[in-house]
Amino acid sequence: MQIEGWAGYKCQQKLKLLKEDLKRWNKGVSGNVEAQVDKLSKQIEMLDKKCEEVELNETELTIRRECFQEMWDILRKREAWKQKSRNTWVCLGDANSHFFHRSVQAIGEHRIQYQVS
């Protein structure tokens, strides 16, 4: 793909295309994490409701246990990547830049909103 324009614009457009390609690649490799977690949660919830009515057999208990384990693994990996990216960003970020301070403020505001709701 040929991008026309001045150097800064070309770079910006190439980064945009790279971002889209990386998102597509990530969904292909790791799948949609939120959809996986939702699916596992619904399956666990269904088994929990069934457990309230009748006792689960050994197969159902095994499935429930595996769902919990898989969901735990997915959430743990996601959190590890999130922490690793933040560590890298903090170590390499410019502590005096306007961007760095705005980003930290945004994270703090997000946490406050999450705690309030």
Q: In Å, what is the CA distance from 4 to each residue of 11, 16, 20, 115?
A: 11, 14, 19, 46
pLDDT at site 35:
83
pLDDT at 45: 93
Quick one: pLDDT at residue 110? 59
- The pLDDT assigned to 5 comes to 87
Q: Which residues contact 48 (CB under 8 A, 6 or more apart)?
A: 64
pLDDT of residue 67: 93
Mean pLDDT split into 10-residue runs, the chain, 117 residues? 85 91 80 83 92 90 92 86 74 64 71 52
The pLDDT of residue 112 is: 54
Domain ranges of the chain: 1-31, 32-116
